[in-house]
Amino acid sequence: MKRWIIFLALLAAFPPLSTDMYLPAIPNLVRLWDKPLWYINLTLIVFFVTYSFFLLVYGPLSDRWGRRLVLKAGISLYVVASFLCALAPNALTLIVLRMLQAAGAASAASLALALSKDVFGFHEREKVLAAIGVVIALAPMSAPIIGGWTMAIVSWRWIFILLAGFGIVALIGVHRMEETLHPDLRTPQLRLIADYLQLLRNRAYIALVLVVSLAIVPLFAFIAASSEIYISRLGLSEQAYGYFFGFNALALMSGSLVCTRISGKIKSQTILTLCYLGVTLGGVLLVLVPHTSPWSLALPMLAISFSAGLSRPPSNNLVLKQVQQGAGAASSLLMFTLMTAGAIAMGVISLGWEDKITALGIMGSVCGLLGSILWWGLKRKLYIQTAT
């Protein structure tokens, strides 16, 4: 089981590594290429938009031809695109190459959930997903620190060279992996539209996916705004920024770690209720606390990050429980919705807000409160499957 946890965590870590390691470079690229923040932030936003689209492609492909072949193709594209990003001469070129990088990264993250459903049963899977959450939280915790020190020692271009090396390691792991999708569970033909139409008719699945996506909105907004707030507004160095960002990533990891301890002792429904309350609390604090130091952002975000980490294992597990076949398409549509919501949040927070911390707090308060209300109503519906 430990090998599977490490391998699945490696695949699931593609998005945070591909974005968070690059965050300390954003203010520097604003100055280097003389472009506004919103333009440079397109390197983040188009990554998630492209990533979200390709999530919808890889799931059904893997349901038809197996996980291993699809992973090999996607991760190979990621490695090539990462090397090309390191050579980008201007912002527009980097934006385009980040789209290619995202197209490859989508294969790993979308199929990590499908692999977990192939290998583990419902109750065991929730514990495994929680353990994976602890491991992959090391990525956003360490990635900006690595990125900051990489810039201090060499340059921002080496960040993408390191990402290419990470992709090569994952590719070796896929090569050694045995196919996990049983032949009887493979779809007889590739039916991209039909598979997703079937999921859209699954009321329980769609309702849970939409409610779950609310919890991650303030977290993605924070990712997009954090470097501008910490470095440009509060005057931190790239290295200090990495430590503060890592502090919130530590809270994310702590939430997943707590989930491993309480899974099976506390119902998933109760855990999710507490998570939405935590997101609401963090958002309210961001609005009310005076913005005089880095801690005025870090501490309220701790509540949001911890709640997000606590919620992901049970929420993802409950979503997958609503489908019996086509786990690849189901996990892809789930990740597509989460990443699309995240990309929208990044776009909104990148606008010319006078006070980005207050804007971030409003987003957290609204999403947390709305999520609490919708989840309270949804868990009363008898068609939601919560156990085997």
**Residue 86 falls within a domain, yes or no?**
yes
Among 226, 217, 240, smallest CA distance to 37 is for: 226
Domain harbouring 133, CATH code: 1.20.1250.20
> Per-residue confidence of the chain (388 residues) as pLDDT tens digits?
667 777 777 777 777 788 888 888 888 898 889 888 888 889 988 898 898 888 778 877 777 777 788 888 899 999 999 999 999 999 999 999 999 999 998 888 777 777 777 767 666 766 676 667 666 667 767 788 888 888 888 888 999 999 999 899 888 888 887 776 666 656 666 566 777 787 888 888 888 888 888 888 998 899 888 888 888 888 888 888 888 888 887 887 788 778 777 766 777 778 888 888 999 999 999 999 888 888 988 899 999 989 888 877 777 777 777 776 666 677 778 878 887 888 889 888 888 788 889 999 999 999 999 988 888 887 766 445 554 4
CB atoms inside a 10 Å sphere around CB 288: 11
**Residue 383 falls within a domain, yes or no?**
no
**Residue 186 falls within a domain, yes or no?**
no
What does the block give as tokens for 287? 């609005």
Specify the residue for token string 């920024």: 241
C-alpha 259/C-alpha 266 separation (Å) is: 9
**Residue 386 falls within a domain, yes or no?**
no
**Residue 230 falls within a domain, yes or no?**
yes
What does the block give as tokens for 187? 């779809």
pTM of the full structure: 0.70
The number of folded domains in the chain is: 1
**Residue 184 falls within a domain, yes or no?**
no
Do 210 and 367 form a contact (C-beta atoms < 8 A)?
A: no
Distances (CA, A) of 146 to 141, 160, 223: 9, 12, 16
Do 311 and 269 form a contact (C-beta atoms < 8 A)?
A: no
Among 219, 213, 212, 214, smallest CA distance to 349 is for: 219
CB atoms inside a 10 Å sphere around CB 239: 15
**Residue 34 falls within a domain, yes or no?**
yes
CB atoms inside a 10 Å sphere around CB 381: 10
Do 375 and 208 form a contact (C-beta atoms < 8 A)?
A: no
- Domain interval for residue 68: 2-178+191-378
**Residue 333 falls within a domain, yes or no?**
yes
